[in-house]
Every structure is written in structure tokens, then in C-alpha cells.
Structure 1
Amino acid sequence: MELLENHWKAPVSVQNRSVEASEVTSSTVDRNLIIAYRKTKKESQRRFWARFGVTQSRGSRFESGAEIPPPVSILLGLYFTKTITDGDLGRAERVIYSPDAAALINPGQ
């Protein structure tokens, strides 16, 4: 997990070559780190990706090499650097799916 926490700061190894994290596309390095993290935690794809608002099938595509969109990549980065927690993600999801969400997102309309 140390590797995940420092992923956005430290050099990483990709295909036996050390490179800066900024040089690597998100789908290249995140995929391997995410899979390792998820398996270490013994979480299913469905459970892991649901916390980021991603379906199991889409998460599977990300793990297979599909490019991870910037909003999801940002959430992953915040999660792995412990800036946000499972609780934060759960509260955000409850707000989004609440009946009053439209009023919260577009106040005054």
C-alpha cells in the first residue's frame, strides 16, 4: 500500500524501467496498482469500483487497460493518498442520490 500512497509523487517501475509518475499514463500504472490493492484487500471489482461511482463492468475494463477518465483518476489519487476515505465517498454518494440533490447542485433553480 505504500506504493499506492506514493504513486503520484515517487518514481515507479513499469516494465522493468524506472520512470517518473508523471511520465506514465494513468491506465498503465494505475491498473497494476489498483488490481494489486484490490486483491490485497480481497475486494470484488463490484465493491471496489462502486465506491468511485463506477460499475463492475466498467471497472473491469479499466483493469484490462481502458483509459481511466480524469474524474475517476482524481478520486483514486485522493483515495490512495488518504485525502478522502470510504466514509467521505459514501457521504458524497448519499448526497448525489438524495431527493434534494438537484437543489444542492443547482441552488436557486
Structure 2
Amino acid sequence: MELLENHWKAPFGIQNRTAEDSEEALPAVDRHLIIAFRKTKKESQRRFWARFGVTQSRGSRFESGAEIPPPVSILLGLYLTKTISDSDLGRAERVIYSKEAAALLNPGQ
């Protein structure tokens, strides 16, 4: 697991980022590390990728080499470095799908 944590420290080190860095593309996520982590946890693709709002088929494409969008890549980095947990992701999902969030997104309805 130390290898995973070291992999995400440099690219996603928020304290080292500047305004200029935000314009640069994030480095590609190593799909082999993601697969190894998922298998270590003994999780199916469906269960693993669902916590990031990704379908099983899309997660499979990511694991096969498709480019991972920056928001998903950032969540993966935060999750694999244990900055955020399953409960954090669950709370965020509940907020996103709450009636209050729907009212904010559709104020006239």
C-alpha cells in the first residue's frame, strides 16, 4: 500500500500546487496500481467504482487504459491516500441527491 500512497503524493500534493499548475494537465493515473488496490480489497469492479460515481463498464474501461477524467482521478488519489473514506464519499453522495440540492439546482421548480 505504501507504493500507492507514494504514487499520489507528488501529483496531487495540494500544498505544492500554484495557480499555474491548475492549467497543466494532471498526470495519468497508473491503472495497474488501481487494479492491484481493488484486488487487494477483494472488491468487484462494480462495488469499487460505484463509490466514485462510475459504472462498472466505465471502470472496466479505465482499468483497460481509458483516460480517467480529472475529477475521478482526484477522488481516487484522495481515497487511496486515505484522505477521504468510504463514509466521506457516502455523505457527499447523499448531499448531492438530497431534496435541498435539487432545489438549489432547479430554483423555479
TM-score bracket for this pair, using the shorter chain length: 0.7 to 0.9
Match of 1:8 in 2: 8
SS of equivalent residue, structure 1 residue 6 = helix
TM-score for the superposition, normalised by structure 2? 0.76
Q: What displacement does 1:104 show?
A: 5.0
Q: What displacement does 1:76 show?
A: 0.5
Residues 87-98 of structure 1: matches in 2 within 5 Å?
A: 87-98=87-98
Corresponding position: 1:26 with 2:9: no
Number of residue pairs the alignment of both structures matches: 93
Question: Which stretches in structure 2 are left out of the alignment for 5+ residues?
Answer: 11-25
Corresponding position: 1:82 with 2:85: no
Corresponding position: 1:46 with 2:52: no
Corresponding position: 1:99 with 2:99: yes
Q: What displacement does 1:102 show?
A: 2.5
For 1:40 and 1:97, locate their aligned partners in 2 and report how far apart those are by CA, in whole Å. 30
For 2:9 and 2:94, locate their aligned partners in 1 and report how far apart those are by CA, in whole Å. 31
Identical amino acids, percent of aligned pairs = 84
Structure (1/2) with the larger strand percentage: 1
Match of 2:22 in 1: none
For 2:49 and 2:73, locate their aligned partners in 1 and report how far apart those are by CA, in whole Å. 12
Question: Which stretches in structure 1 are left out of the alignment for 5+ residues?
Answer: 11-23
Aligned residues: CA RMSD: 2.0
Corresponding position: 1:73 with 2:73: yes
Runs of 4+ in 1 over 3 A off after TM superposition: 103-106
Match of 1:57 in 2: 57
